[in-house]
Amino acid sequence: MYKLGILGLGKMGSSILNGILKKNVYKKEDIFLCLHPDNLNDYKDKGFNYTLDYNELFNNVETILLSVKPQVFNAEIKPLNNDFKDKKIISIMAGIKIETIENIFNGANIARIMPNTPALIGKAVSTYALNKENKELENIVVNIFNSIGVAYKITEDFMDQTLPLNGSMPAYIDLFMKAFVDKAVSYGIDKETAKGLCANSVISSAYLYLESKDDIQTLIDNVCSKGGTTIAGLNKLYDNDFEKAIYECYDACVNRSIELSKK
């Protein structure tokens, strides 16, 4: 019996596998992969234990990581039997609720995870929720997802509401940085220089926010001086309802997530 089985080795699944191995969460010989024929050689040649059959995976592992697309789950995953008592299921499938997974994997201990794309560089910010308290499963989840970043426990009721803060946040931050970099380039600043200045300032400001004892309004005020350059720029953001746009962005993201989870 293998300790961990992984179904789905796209960008996110392969990033999680890399993190697991890099941080020694599991050894290669403890992992059983269910591969698609298209990526068979990528893992077969590296000496991984593998199968092409879902049911073989389900029957030979203690914990299953589901990182397939939701449509694959809905259309193709048909377990060999309906008794998964004490089996541990970890799902990163967007929009698939724990209740839906419970209906397929009867009796299983289930964790639903929402990682984000910085998992590709080992910097994911993930949320996770459990269908029932299970310390063993929770420890497995924390160890796996801390190997690719940081993980925060929530209840599933907040999975949609936290999505703008981690799952979708990279796109919002990227757009914010794109606007500043594009404008810098229009002034004749080298793009790579602008990119480095902007991205590293976002990173360092985020670290200051995390580590400072001051509230965020104080951090904003600390950069501003009366009649100075920073306040001149901030006033334009305020004049254009910047915060209102963020609030509406947040609401739209949450509402769409709720709509998709009902389909």
Q: Tens of pLDDT along 26-47? A: 999 999 999 888 778 789 889 9
Domain assignment of residue 112, given as a range: 2-155
Asked if residue 181 and residue 112 are part of one domain, the reply reads no
Residues 113, 20, single domain; the answer is yes
Joined together, the tokens standing for residue 229 give 């350059």
Q: Characterize 128-161 residue by residue with b for buried, 16 or more Cβ atoms within 10 angstroms of its Cβ, and e for exposed.
A: bbbbeebeebbebbbebbebbbebeeeebeebbe
Contact 98, 131 (CB under 8 A): yes
11 and 135 fall within a common domain: yes
The answer as to whether 17 is a domain residue is yes
Q: Is residue 161 a part of any domain in this protein?
A: no
Structure tokens at 215: 């509230």
> Within this chain, do residues 26 and 96 fall inside the same structural domain, yes or no?
yes
| Any domain includes 73 | yes
- 11 & 130 share domain: yes
- Per-residue pLDDT, averaged over 111-131, amounts to 97
Shared domain check, 198 and 68: no
Please identify, among 155, 184, 203, the residue that sits at the C-terminal boundary of a domain: 155
Residue 13 counted as domain residue: yes
Residue reference for tokens 């902007």: 198
Domain-located, residue 164: no
Whether residue 70 sits in one domain with residue 106: yes
According to the model, what pLDDT value does residue 45 have?
85
Residues 150 and 177 in one domain: no
Last residue in a domain, options 107, 132, 155:
155
Position 54 scores a pLDDT of 86
Same domain, 135 and 222: no
Q: Is the pLDDT score of 82 beyond 70?
A: no
Query: Is residue 132 situated within a structural domain?
Result: yes
Is the CB of residue 79 less than 8 Å from the CB of residue 58? yes
Distance CA 171, CA 188 (A): 25
Query: 52 and 13, same structural domain?
Result: yes
* CATH number of the domain within which 192 lies: 1.10.3730.10
How high is the mean pLDDT of the chain? Answer: 93
- Whether residue 57 is found in the same domain as residue 11: yes
Cα(244)–Cα(242) distance, rounded to whole angstroms?
Answer: 5
Q: Convert the chain into a string of H (helix), E (strand) and C (coil).
A: CEEEEEECCCHHHHHHHHHHHHCCCCCHHHEEEECCHHHHHHHHCCCCEEECCHHHHHCCEEEEEECCCHHHHHHHCCCCCCCCCCCEEEECCCCCCHHHHHHHCCCCEEEEEECCHHHHHCCEEEEEEECCCCHHHHHHHHHHHHCCEEEEECCHHHHHHHHHHCCCHHHHHHHHHHHHHHHHHHCCCCHHHHHHHHHHHHHHHHHHHHHCCCCHHHHHHHHCCCCCHHHHHHHHHHHCCHHHHHHHHHHHHHHHHHHHHCC
The mean pLDDT of 102-126, rounded to a whole number, is 94
Domain count, the chain: 2
Contact 63, 91 (CB under 8 A): no
What CATH number did the domain enclosing 125 receive? 3.40.50.720
Q: What is the pTM of this model?
A: 0.91
Of the three residues 105, 126, 155, the one that is the final residue of a domain is 155
pLDDT in tens, 133-189: 999 999 999 999 999 999 999 999 999 999 999 999 999 999 999 999 999 999 999
For the chain, give the longest Cα–Cα distance: 70
Bin 174: left if φ > 0, else alpha if -120 < ψ < 50, else beta.
alpha
138, part of any domain? yes
- Reported as a pLDDT band with limits 50, 70 and 90, residue 194 is very high
Residue 163 maps to a domain: no
Q: Which of 86-100, 159-173, 179-193, 200-214 has the lowest mean pLDDT?
A: 86-100
Residues 143 and 13 in one domain: yes
Residues 6+ apart with CB under 8 A from 263: 95
